[in-house]
């Protein structure tokens, strides 16, 4: 039983570390824009949070800077993809490369130095006393709890509000919205900036909650996983959370199987999360029965008024 | 819209190669100015840095030799990726296909029959090609038949291929008495030769790259298959009406693209590194995506851009000697990309100054 | 077209002339000979930035320390090149050329992956000493390695002493490479020396750097009831997980106590400075042989200061006693009889394993559980 608690609680932490970025990317893609630069933006967030925390010893201020960093990067990306209508894949790659380089460069002074300031675990009164679930869900840090609130809000926003309806239309057929007098460009700007801000927070989660140190390239592929999970979850935040949990669960399980299934090459367990993602993706999104795909129809297509 | 509008962007009717060249050059120049400010801010002299890069990397014989070597894997991955992107297939898996190619080629060299020299090279190259192609097919089949998102499957397959490669290099294939993950050297008779042109040593691989680019170009222009691809890329619906099998083309293009990424592995294996090492692709597959886009999917441009990228990567070493941090080279890549992307806008549009009054 | 070609040819010719010109100049001004050690120019190649909190940092600190002792100006005469990935052969070659152009007398390859490349290009630069971290494989480059197992032996001993009432210890390993096996086997042998029944459960990350997997692996071990563990990793994820769960660990590469003061007992640290000092001195004298090989233990393979809060003075003393015994040769770490984890005899009683076999580490010792 202890084992399962440990595996699941590890899975929750893992899930949250990619969920901020995942939700950000979900909104961005729902608005019809694909941002491949998640990893680079996460690194910028991780770095800026650490640098601020190191110099000011103030976590709140650090998070504010993280959000600002994300927003600035988002504005650059939005300018390129929305205003200049440039190719989104290559813009995403540019953000990735820029973020990786810039974060290493700006963070050099504090690289690998312990910050000794982080989001510590706060057991919630009463709730954390619940057997099993309490320890898994309610003995976590503040950013995890915020995610608990954010997840239902995000899902509700997309599916149940007027704004969410517009967001979905924006990704499906922006021309219709434009014709209805909505400002397509402003909306896309907003969702892109929201997305990059969330990605930056994901990065800060890695550097200020999971550890408390900045090291070059420390997100080690999480951004890519977040990106993959978004399409995996059919652009639905609730499914996204399940996907992230599953991914975290399987990689935690692999660690345990090394002990309990000796003799099997450990690489097999280490590859499990990736294999599982492919298999689940094929099963859940394969249109064996001609199912309608949830992919926003206008995804990765720049909106050009004149060719309306 | 409003009477106040003085400036307006208008879509250009015609594209000209000269304009493309000029705009790209201006964008790169602006990017260099922007990077110069960054370099200046860390206390170095930008002009000195650029001069060093130009003379040491792009114009010196050894610089060119190394630039061409570094460009080899980028070139082949880039050519492969450009193929899939032309068909709107998001193949982010060149990294893994490269690794799979190296694994297949390595299996032949290390454990296959003792065939050396040119025949051995050709068989190894074929193995690499097949390895990459099969790795890509694993993602192409679900895409073609069930519409499964290829960007995720190819991405996940990268991790798996790299893990297998690391396992083999550190485990069963490891060169005895070595403490790093690498295999025995490939027989010297199978090295891709390098020829001297004037003072410059050039790998034959570069010429193979140019030939492959030419083949791709001709295939697009003169074959039915190439024509089908062009139709699909422009409008999948009309392709379907015309009776073109999209499934078949997905399978074909993906495996070709994977095969080319596998060949990139062969080029690095037989042409540059001469052994298989633990993390051989080293992000070439991701850089290839950038190269393919910056080249606007034109195979010849891919060759040129990969060579420039090879040089840019190598300049890391030279700029550090001037006190510039190692990350600057990566940042420069990012900044140059952003400016070239932004410059693209002016290729598609032109600025029109409208008269006062109604726009 | 013709014009263009001829222009190109002229350009190439001019360049080659320039290149030849500089080469000639180099040949006259340089040459093997004696030099004051403080005038040496040192180049170093790193696969990452030097502030990686691990391997590269330890290596860089060693070089800086050696330079300072010998009066070499690290601002001007130490040329540090970061992010030179070992996979990119052309980049490594470019970097070496650039370092030589800038007058480097010694080039340190600070990661094992450079060995093959440096050995292949060494003949082109006969006046430069190439010093490479690695086993004694090549005759044309200086190779150096530390007997890391000596420090890890003490670490394993320390953990087993503290691990009262249990025979189970843990080890978080990154990838299955010789350097990692050296650490793991050394740790296990030390544990066995303290407690013949001690077993070391290893768990692999199969990655050189992954915060999530590292902390998950530490947690897996802790959940199995393991309280003391060794590690081979560069991130502070494992010490921090131990701190959170009330377990203890030995830091690796550099002193990690500041990262998790309630969990890190001590750290295994690389002290490369003595080796580097010797290489630099001999190079200056002109007596450095290309075929030389360093395989040093003692002060090179040490533990950092103990965490006094967690390790009592009595235990500290016992570890230090063992250290002296190893130094004096009273305790032979790889002495027989030694078996591997499958029960095969590695070293017969009364014999000692050869350095060659210790370096290659193609085995796991008897009390390792979960070896590959």
> What percentage of residues in chain B have a pLDDT greater than 90?
48
Q: Are A43 and A103 in contact (CB under 8 A)?
A: yes
Is the confidence at residue B328, as pLDDT, over 90? Answer: no
Give pLDDT, residue A292. Answer: 61
| DSSP state at residue C365 | B
In a domain, B134, yes or no: yes
Please calculate the CA angle B105-B111-B113 and round it to the nearest 5 degrees.
95
Between CA A27 and CA A20 the distance in angstroms is 11
Beta strands in chain B (DSSP E): 7-11, 194-197, 200-203, 349-353
Based on the domain organization, do C152 and C140 belong to the same domain?
no
Residues B65-81 have pLDDT tens digits of: 999 999 999 999 999 99
Based on the domain organization, do C240 and C187 belong to the same domain?
yes
Query: Domain total for chain C?
Result: 2
Based on the domain organization, do C109 and C182 belong to the same domain?
no
Per the structure, the complete domain to which residue A26 belongs is given by 2-307
Residues C57, A206: C-beta atoms closer than 8 Å: no
Q: Which residue has the higher pLDDT, B357 or B30?
A: B30
Contacts of A229 (CB under 8 A, 6+ apart): A18, A22, A240, A243, A244, A247, A277
Distance of CA C55 to the CA centre of its chain: 6
Residue A117, chain C, CB below 8 Å: the answer is no
Q: Counting beta carbons within 10 angstroms of the beta carbon of residue A242, is it exposed (0 to 12), middle (13 to 18) or buried (19 or more)?
A: middle
Is the confidence at residue C227, as pLDDT, over 90? Answer: yes
Give pLDDT, residue C24. Answer: 40
Confidence of residue C9 (pLDDT cuts 50, 70, 90): very low
Give pLDDT, residue B1. Answer: 44
Distance from CA of C82 to the nearest CA of A (A): 12
Give pLDDT, residue B322. Answer: 84
The tens place of each residue's pLDDT in chain A, 308 residues long, gives 677 887 888 899 999 999 999 999 999 999 999 999 999 999 999 999 999 999 999 999 999 999 999 999 999 999 999 988 888 888 898 899 899 989 988 888 888 888 888 898 899 988 888 888 888 889 899 999 999 999 999 999 999 999 999 999 999 889 889 898 889 999 999 999 999 999 999 999 999 998 889 998 898 889 999 998 998 888 999 999 999 999 999 988 888 888 888 888 888 888 888 998 899 888 887 777 655 667 788 887 778 776 64
In a domain, C79, yes or no: yes
Can you tell me whether residue A265 is helix, strand or coil?
A: coil
Between CA B64 and CA B53 the distance in angstroms is 11
Between CA C225 and CA C168 the distance in angstroms is 8
Residue A238, chain C, CB below 8 Å: the answer is no
Q: Give the pair of three-digit tokens for residue C330.
A: 């009273």
Residues C343-371 have pLDDT tens digits of: 899 999 989 999 888 988 889 999 999 98
Q: Are C170 and C339 in contact (CB under 8 A)?
A: no
Based on the domain organization, do C129 and C188 belong to the same domain?
no
Count of CA atoms in the C-beta half-sphere (13 A) of C47: 18
Between CA C271 and CA C267 the distance in angstroms is 12
Per the structure, the complete domain to which residue C194 belongs is given by 148-262+302-369
Is the confidence at residue B252, as pLDDT, over 90? Answer: yes
Query: Domain total for chain A?
Result: 1
Can you tell me whether residue B301 is helix, strand or coil?
A: helix
Give pLDDT, residue B293. Answer: 84
| Minimum-distance CB partner of C176 among B69, B170, B280 | B170
In a domain, C16, yes or no: no
In a domain, C239, yes or no: yes
Chain C positions touching A267 (Cβ under 8 A) are 206
In a domain, B275, yes or no: yes
Give pLDDT, residue C12. Answer: 44
Residues B199-233 have pLDDT tens digits of: 888 999 999 999 999 999 999 889 888 888 888 88
Based on the domain organization, do C125 and C232 belong to the same domain?
no
Distance from CA of B326 to the nearest CA of C (A): 6
Query: Domain total for chain B?
Result: 1
Is the confidence at residue B359, as pLDDT, over 80? Answer: no
| Minimum-distance CB partner of B334 among A101, A274, A287 | A101
Between CA B95 and CA B355 the distance in angstroms is 52
Chain B positions touching C137 (Cβ under 8 A) are 177-178
C-alpha torsion C30→C32→C33→C38, nearest 10: 70
Is the confidence at residue C266, as pLDDT, over 50? Answer: yes
Give pLDDT, residue A161. Answer: 94
In a domain, B46, yes or no: no
Based on the domain organization, do C93 and C180 belong to the same domain?
no
Give residue for tokens 């982010």.
B92
| DSSP state at residue C143 | E
Based on the domain organization, do C136 and C183 belong to the same domain?
no
pTM to 2 decimals? 0.89
Residues B278-323 have pLDDT tens digits of: 889 989 999 999 899 888 889 999 999 999 999 988 888 888 888 8
Give pLDDT, residue C18. Answer: 42
Q: B touches which chains (3+ CB pairs under 8 A)?
A: A, C
Residues C90, B182: C-beta atoms closer than 8 Å: no
Residues B177, C97: C-beta atoms closer than 8 Å: no
| Minimum-distance CB partner of B327 among A85, A93, A101 | A101
Q: What is the largest CA-CA distance in chain C?
A: 87
Based on the domain organization, do C73 and C192 belong to the same domain?
no
Can you tell me whether residue C231 is helix, strand or coil?
A: strand
Give pLDDT, residue A302. Answer: 78
Give pLDDT, residue C5. Answer: 46
Confidence of residue C229 (pLDDT cuts 50, 70, 90): very high
Between CA B258 and CA B158 the distance in angstroms is 12
Distances (CA, A) of C98 to B60, C38, C46, C91: 12, 21, 15, 10
Q: A touches which chains (3+ CB pairs under 8 A)?
A: B, C
CATH number of A293's domain: 1.10.3470
Please calculate the CA angle B195-B201-B202 and round it to the nearest 5 degrees.
65
Based on the domain organization, do C316 and C339 belong to the same domain?
yes
Residues B132-176 have pLDDT tens digits of: 999 999 999 999 998 888 888 999 999 999 999 999 998 899 888
Is the confidence at residue B11, as pLDDT, over 50? Answer: yes
Q: What is the mean pLDDT of chain C?
A: 88
Residues B33-49 have pLDDT tens digits of: 998 998 888 788 889 98
CATH number of C67's domain: 3.40.50.2300
Per the structure, the complete domain to which residue B131 belongs is given by 72-213+245-303
Give residue for tokens 């250290």.
C323
**Nearest-CA neighbor of C39 among C69, C64, C62, C73?**
C73
Between CA B258 and CA B81 the distance in angstroms is 8
């Amino acid at each position: 039983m202890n084992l399962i608690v440990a595996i699941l609680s590890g899975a929750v932490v893992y899930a949250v570390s990619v969920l901020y970025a995942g939700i950000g990317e979900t909104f961005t893609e729902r608005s019809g824009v694909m941002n491949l630069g998640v990893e680079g933006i996460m690194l910028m967030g991780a770095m800026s949070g650490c640098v601020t925390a190191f110099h000011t010893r103030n976590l709140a201020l650090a998070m504010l800077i993280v959000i600002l960093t994300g927003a600035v990067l988002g504005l650059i990306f939005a300018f390129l993809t929305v205003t200049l209508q440039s190719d989104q894949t290559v813009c995403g790659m540019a953000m990735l490369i820029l973020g990786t380089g810039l974060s290493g460069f700006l963070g050099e002074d504090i690289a690998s130095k312990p910050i000794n300031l982080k989001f510590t675990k706060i057991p919630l009164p009463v709730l954390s006393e619940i057997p099993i679930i309490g320890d898994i869900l309610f003995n976590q840090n503040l950013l995890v709890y915020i995610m608990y609130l954010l997840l239902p809000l995000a899902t509700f926003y997309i599916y149940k509000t007027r704004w969410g309806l517009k967001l979905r239309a924006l990704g499906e057929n922006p021309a219709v919205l434009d014709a209805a007098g909505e400002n397509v460009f402003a909306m896309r700007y907003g969702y892109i900036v929201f997305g990059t801000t969330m990605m930056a927070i994901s990065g800060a989660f890695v550097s200020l909650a999971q550890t408390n140190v900045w090291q070059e390239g420390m997100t080690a592929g999480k951004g890519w996983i977040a990106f993959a999970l978004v399409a995996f979850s059919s652009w639905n935040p609730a499914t996204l959370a399940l996907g992230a949990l599953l991914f975290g669960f399987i990689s935690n399980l692999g660690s345990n199987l090394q002990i309990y299934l000796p003799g099997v090459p450990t690489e097999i367990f280490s590859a499990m999360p990736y294999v599982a993602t492919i298999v689940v993706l094929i099963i859940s999104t394969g249109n064996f029965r001609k199912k309608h795909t949830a992919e926003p129809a206008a995804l990765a297509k720049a909106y050009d008024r004149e060719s309306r | 819209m409003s009477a106040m509008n003085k400036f307006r962007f208008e879509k250009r009717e015609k594209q000209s190669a000269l304009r493309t060249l000029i705009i790209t050059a201006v964008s790169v120049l602006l990017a260099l100015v922007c990077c110069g400010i960054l370099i200046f801010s860390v206390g170095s002299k930008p002009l000195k840095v650029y001069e060093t890069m130009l003379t040491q990397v792009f114009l010196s014989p050894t610089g060119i030799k190394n630039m061409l070597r570094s460009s080899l894997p980028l070139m082949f991955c880039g050519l492969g990726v450009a193929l899939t992107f032309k068909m709107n297939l998001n193949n982010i898996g060149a990294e893994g296909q490269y690794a799979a190619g190296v694994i297949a080629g390595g299996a032949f060299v290390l454990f296959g029959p003792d065939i050396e020299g040119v025949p051995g090279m050709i068989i190894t190259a074929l193995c690499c090609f097949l390895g990459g192609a099969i790795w890509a097919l694993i993602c192409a089949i679900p895409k073609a038949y069930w519409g499964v998102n290829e960007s995720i499957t190819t991405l996940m397959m990268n991790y798996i291929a790299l893990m297998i490669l690391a396992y083999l290099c550190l485990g069963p294939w490891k060169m005895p008495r070595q403490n790093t993950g690498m295999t025995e050297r490939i027989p010297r008779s199978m090295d891709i030769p390098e020829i001297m042109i004037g003072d410059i040593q050039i790998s034959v691989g570069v010429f193979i790259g140019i030939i492959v680019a030419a083949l791709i170009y001709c295939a697009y222009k003169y074959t039915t298959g190439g024509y089908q691809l062009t139709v699909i890329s422009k409008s999948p619906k009309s392709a379907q009406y015309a009776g073109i099998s999209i499934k078949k083309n997905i399978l074909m293009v993906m495996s070709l693209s994977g095969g080319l990424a596998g060949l990139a592995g062969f080029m690095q294996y037989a042409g540059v590194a001469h052994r298989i090492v633990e993390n051989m692709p080293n992000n070439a597959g991701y850089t290839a995506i950038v190269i393919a886009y910056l080249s606007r999917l034109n195979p010849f441009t891919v060759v040129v851009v990969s060579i420039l990228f090879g040089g840019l990567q190598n300049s890391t070493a030279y700029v550090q000697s001037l006190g510039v941090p190692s990350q600057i080279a990566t940042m420069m890549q990012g900044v140059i990309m952003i400016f070239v992307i932004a410059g693209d806008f002016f290729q598609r549009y032109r600025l029109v100054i409208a008269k006062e009054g109604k726009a | 077209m013709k014009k263009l070609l001829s222009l190109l040819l002229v350009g190439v010719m001019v360049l080659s002339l320039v290149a030849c010109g500089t080469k000639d100049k180099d040949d006259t001004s340089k040459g093997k000979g004696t030099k004051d050690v403080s005038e040496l120019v040192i180049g170093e190649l790193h696969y990452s930035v030097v502030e990686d909190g691990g391997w590269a940092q330890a290596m860089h600190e060693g070089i800086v320390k050696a330079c300072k002792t010998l009066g070499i100006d690290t601002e001007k005469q130490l040329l540090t090149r970061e992010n030179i990935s070992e996979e990119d052969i052309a980049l490594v070659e470019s970097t070496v050329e650039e370092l030589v152009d800038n007058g480097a007398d010694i080039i340190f390859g600070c990661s094992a992956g450079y060995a093959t490349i440096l050995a292949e290009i060494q003949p082109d630069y006969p006046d430069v000493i190439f010093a490479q971290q690695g086993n004694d494989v090549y005759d044309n480059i200086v190779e150096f390695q530390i007997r890391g197992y000596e420090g890890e032996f003490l670490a394993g001993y320390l953990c087993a002493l503290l691990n009262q009432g249990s025979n189970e210890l843990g080890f978080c390993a990154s990838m299955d490479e010789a350097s990692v096996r050296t650490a793991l086997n050394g740790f296990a042998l030390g544990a066995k020396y303290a407690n013949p029944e001690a077993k070391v459960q290893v768990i692999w990350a199969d990655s050189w750097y992954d915060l999530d997997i590292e902390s998950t692996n530490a947690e897996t071990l802790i959940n199995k009831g393991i309280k003391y563990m060794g590690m081979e990793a560069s991130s502070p994820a494992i010490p921090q997980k131990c701190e959170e769960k009330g377990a203890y660990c030995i830091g690796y590469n550099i002193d990690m106590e500041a990262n998790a003061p309630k969990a890190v007992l001590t750290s295994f640290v690389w002290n490369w400075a003595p080796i580097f000092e010797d290489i630099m001195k001999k190079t200056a004298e002109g007596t450095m042989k290309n075929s030389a090989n360093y395989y040093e233990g003692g002060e090179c393979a040490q533990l950092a200061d103990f965490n006094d809060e967690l390790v009592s003075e009595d235990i500290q003393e016992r570890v230090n006693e063992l250290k002296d015994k190893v130094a004096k040769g009273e305790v032979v770490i790889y002495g027989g009889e030694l078996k591997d984890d499958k029960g095969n005899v590695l070293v017969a009683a009364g014999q000692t394993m050869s350095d060659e076999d210790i370096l290659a580490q193609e085995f796991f010792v008897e009390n390792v559980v979960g070896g590959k």
